[in-house]
């Protein structure tokens, strides 16, 4: 019949739990049956984004044998803002490097 994986990661560790696949298994049921919510009580499933192999899905999405359900933590920084700041820092570094060589 196969298995389903449930994955979650914190900055300190990553955990992938394997559960048996069953007909009519949804992403939410897989997460609950995996015990992930017990191991990480800070997960608020109703407020979390989940996905199957990096593609966001709803909690009631049916699973297939071999799927990996991933629970995503909320972003603590806006990715666009982080890229903008890196770009600005890179410009400063490049300008400084040129003037040091010239």
Is 99's pLDDT higher than 60?
no
Indicate whether 51 belongs to any domain: yes
Indicate whether 52 belongs to any domain: yes
Indicate whether 98 belongs to any domain: no
Indicate whether 60 belongs to any domain: yes
Indicate whether 95 belongs to any domain: no
Q: In what order do the strands lie in the sheet with 49-52?
A: 14-20, 3-9, 68-72, 49-52, 55-57
Q: CATH number for the domain including 38?
A: 3.10.20.280
For the entire predicted model, the pTM comes to 0.72
Interacting residues of 30 by C-beta distance below 8 A, sequence separation 6+ = 4, 6, 19, 63, 67, 69
Indicate whether 88 belongs to any domain: no
Number of domains in the chain: 1
Indicate whether 82 belongs to any domain: no
**What percentage of the chain has pLDDT greater than the value 70?**
83
Please give the residue range of the domain that contains residue 66: 3-74
pLDDT (0 to 100) of residue 81:
73
Model pLDDT for residues 13-55, shown as the tens digit of each residue: 899 999 999 999 999 999 999 999 999 999 999 889 999 999 9
Indicate whether 89 belongs to any domain: no
């Amino acid at each position: 019949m196969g298995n389903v994986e449930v994955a979650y990661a914190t900055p300190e560790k990553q955990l992938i739990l394997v559960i048996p696949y069953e007909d009519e298994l949804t992403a939410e049921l897989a997460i609950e049956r995996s015990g992930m919510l017990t191991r990480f009580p800070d997960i608020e499933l109703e407020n979390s984004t989940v996905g199957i192999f990096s593609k966001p899905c709803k909690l009631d999405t049916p699973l297939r044998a071999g799927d990996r359900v991933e629970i995503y933590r909320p972003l603590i920084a806006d990715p666009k803002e982080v890229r903008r700041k890196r770009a600005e820092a890179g410009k400063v570094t490049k300008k400084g490097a040129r003037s040091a060589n010239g």
